């Protein structure tokens, strides 16, 4: 009889909760196996096709033999130049493409790796809750401690820095912030970013702003942290082409800002990955140079979907937050349900799949998140089904 290995996972894996969206995917697959006519409003994966100019640029780039070799670690200079030009045009922020722009294999990769560059075991990282799970996961992998900043509806889903003890701030090395916010859809004024800069300078904290949703908005254009005086002195901003240009599967994003912070992240990356396929980078350049009309059409589509779902839930008496940005709707669950209980109820009784708010942290309990990533007709049908079971 052959012996089997006695496997002992590393402690960082033992303490790691199941990844939220992997768990949601299992729920989805089980429903499909039961022949459920599923309306999936759970994961923020755009159903709108990638714009054709990007696809055409990719088709051309993939035929170039030079693009089949190892790419540069920091990203093609033409890509970094395009990012710099886009930031100047969109936000009025000046970035040196040589040292203040770094390519990423999607922003998730950069967010997960940044703690490895600067966090030692026992160091504190300020993490929003509810928030993107990778903020805490990256901190855990680096041996750091997450100090939770609650995002309360009564405070417009902004962290209250006055509630963080001086002792915690003095031991904090890094802070994650994310606006427009996933999952709450909250946006912020420039004064919030100014306060963050002030705190970062006082306590020597690296600011990491996740700005993946700045281009999905409905009225007022969201701000970039890089527009704030002093932002480049204290931190970096993560961005992605995934949501903006419907390129989730392409896996390309970028980080911009403080050159020393980017150099630290780049050092981690050079040891763990070999960069982004150059053909994808060329396609990304085409994306960043697209006429704004393309994005306006995408935003118009999401606006129509938002209005259907928001107005429908409101008529049903469901307390919802009308999003000014992102393609999410953050809604309170009925008082007799938990977040996961209501998600399960919607799936079992209505064939509608949403995401439980507590999957984004304990402060998300009592809410669920709907993603506007299904056609208007299906969202309208989802509202009808929810009405029947409520």
Give the 3-state secondary structure of residue 329.
strand
Q: Is residue 232 part of a domain?
A: yes
Q: Is residue 350 part of a domain?
A: yes
Q: Is residue 3 part of a domain?
A: no
Q: Which helix (H) or strand (E) holds 231?
A: helix 231-234
Shared domain check, 302 and 277 = no
pLDDT at 390: 84
Residues 53-67 as b or e (16 or more Cβ within 10 Å = b) = bbeebbeebeeeeeb
Report yes or no: 342 and 368 within 8 Å, Cβ to Cβ: yes
DSSP E strand stretches across the chain: 39-40, 101-104, 124-129, 145-150, 172-178, 206-210, 235-240, 253-257, 320-321, 328-332, 352-353, 355-356, 367-371
The tally of CA atoms less than 13 A away on the side-chain side of residue 170 is 3
Domain of 349 in residue numbering reads as 11-49+293-389
Shared domain check, 150 and 41 = no
In sequence order, the β-bridge partners of residue 146 are: 125
Shared domain check, 226 and 339 = no
Last residue of a domain, one of 246, 272, 288: 288
Token pair of 290 as six digits: 């697209």
Q: Is residue 176 part of a domain?
A: yes
Shared domain check, 116 and 70 = yes
Q: How would residue 260 be classed by pLDDT, with cut points 50, 70 and 90?
A: very high
Q: Is residue 85 part of a domain?
A: yes
Shared domain check, 303 and 172 = no
* pLDDT tens-digit readout, 117-140: 999 999 999 999 999 999 999 999
For the cut 70, the answer to whether the pLDDT of residue 62 exceeds it is yes
Arithmetic mean of pLDDT, 380-389: 97
Q: How would residue 356 be classed by pLDDT, with cut points 50, 70 and 90?
A: very high
Arithmetic mean of pLDDT, 339-363: 94
Strands 352-353 and 328-332: unpaired
Shared domain check, 301 and 231 = no
Q: Is residue 6 part of a domain?
A: no
CATH number assigned to the domain comprising residue 374: 3.90.1150.10
Q: How would residue 24 be classed by pLDDT, with cut points 50, 70 and 90?
A: confident
CATH number assigned to the domain comprising residue 161: 3.40.640.10
pLDDT at 8: 86
Q: Is residue 352 part of a domain?
A: yes
- Phi/psi for 328 (5° steps) reads -120, 150
Shared domain check, 38 and 56 = no
Q: Which ranges of 4-133 would DSSP assign to H, the alpha helix?
A: 11-14, 20-33, 52-61, 77-91, 107-118
Report yes or no: 241 and 252 within 8 Å, Cβ to Cβ: yes
For the cut 90, the answer to whether the pLDDT of residue 163 exceeds it is yes
For the cut 70, the answer to whether the pLDDT of residue 190 exceeds it is yes
Arithmetic mean of pLDDT, 370-375: 98
Last residue of a domain, one of 288, 307, 324: 288
For the cut 90, the answer to whether the pLDDT of residue 352 exceeds it is yes
Q: How would residue 30 be classed by pLDDT, with cut points 50, 70 and 90?
A: confident
Shared domain check, 111 and 82 = yes
Arithmetic mean of pLDDT, 214-222: 97
In sequence order, the β-bridge partners of residue 149 are: 128
Q: CB count, 10 Å around CB of 294?
A: 15
For the cut 80, the answer to whether the pLDDT of residue 236 exceeds it is yes
Q: How many domains is the chain built from?
A: 2
Report yes or no: 164 and 126 within 8 Å, Cβ to Cβ: yes
Contacts 24+ apart (CB under 8 A), 93-97: 93/224, 93/226, 93/227, 95/226, 95/256, 95/257, 96/259
Shared domain check, 192 and 84 = yes
Arithmetic mean of pLDDT, 240-247: 97
Shared domain check, 364 and 282 = no
Token pair of 336 as six digits: 């007799």
For the cut 80, the answer to whether the pLDDT of residue 212 exceeds it is yes
State how far the Cα of 327 lies from the Cα of 44, in Å rounded to an integer: 8
Q: How would residue 2 be classed by pLDDT, with cut points 50, 70 and 90?
A: confident
* pLDDT tens-digit readout, 284-317: 999 999 999 999 999 999 999 999 999 999 999 9
For the cut 70, the answer to whether the pLDDT of residue 47 exceeds it is yes
Shared domain check, 124 and 265 = yes
Arithmetic mean of pLDDT, 228-235: 98
Report yes or no: 103 and 275 within 8 Å, Cβ to Cβ: yes
Last residue of a domain, one of 240, 269, 288: 288
Strands 124-129 and 145-150: parallel
pLDDT at 1: 59
| pTM higher than the cut 0.75 | yes
Q: Is residue 5 part of a domain?
A: no
Shared domain check, 93 and 169 = yes
Arithmetic mean of pLDDT, 188-207: 98
Which residues contact residue 155 at a Cβ distance below 8 angstroms, ignoring those fewer than 6 apart? none
């Amino acid at each position: 009889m052959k012996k089997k290995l006695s496997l002992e996972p590393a402690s960082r894996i033992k303490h790691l909760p199941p990844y939220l969206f992997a768990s949601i995917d299992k729920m989805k697959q089980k429903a499909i196996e039961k022949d459920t006519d599923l309306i999936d409003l759970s994961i923020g994966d755009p159903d709108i096709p990638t714009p054709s100019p990007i696809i055409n640029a990719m088709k051309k780039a993939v035929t170039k033999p030079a693009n089949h070799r190892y790419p540069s670690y920091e990203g093609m200079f033409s890509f970094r130049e395009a990012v710099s030009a886009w930031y100047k045009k969109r936000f009025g922020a000046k970035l040196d493409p040589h040292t203040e722009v770094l390519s990423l294999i999607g922003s998730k990769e950069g967010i997960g790796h940044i703690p490895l560059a600067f966090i030692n075991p026992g160091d504190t990282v300020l993490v929003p809750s509810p928030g993107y799970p990778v903020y805490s996961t990256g901190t855990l992998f680096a041996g750091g401690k997450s100090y939770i900043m609650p995002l309360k509806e009564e405070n417009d889903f902004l962290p209250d820095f006055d509630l963080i003890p001086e002792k915690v701030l003095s031991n904090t090395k890094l802070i994650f912030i994310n606006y427009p916010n996933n999952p709450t859809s909250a946006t912020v004024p420039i004064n919030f970013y100014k306060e963050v800069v002030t705190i970062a300078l006082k306590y020597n904290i690296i600011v990491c702003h996740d700005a993946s949703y700045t281009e999905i908005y409905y009225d007022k254009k969201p701000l970039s942290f890089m527009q704030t005086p002093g932002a480049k002195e204290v931190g970096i901003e993560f961005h992605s082409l995934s949501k903006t240009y419907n390129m989730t599967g392409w896996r390309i994003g970028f980080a911009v800002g403080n050159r020393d912070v980017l150099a630290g992240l780049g050092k981690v990356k050079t040891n763990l990955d070999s960069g982004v396929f150059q053909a994808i980078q060329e396609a990304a350049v085409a994306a960043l140079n697209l006429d704004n009309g393309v994005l306006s059409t995408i935003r118009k589509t999401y606006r129509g979907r938002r209005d259907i779902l928001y107005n429908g839930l409101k008529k049903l008496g469901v307390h919802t937050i009308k999003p000014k940005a992102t393609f999410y709707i953050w809604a309170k669950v009925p008082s007799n349900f938990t977040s996961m209980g209501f998600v399960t109820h919607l799936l079992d009784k209505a064939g509608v799949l949403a995401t439980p708010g507590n999957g984004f942290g304990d402060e998300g309990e009592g809410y669920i998140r709907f993603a506007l990533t299904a056609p208007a007709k299906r969202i309208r049908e989802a509202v009808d089904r929810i009405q029947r079971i409520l």
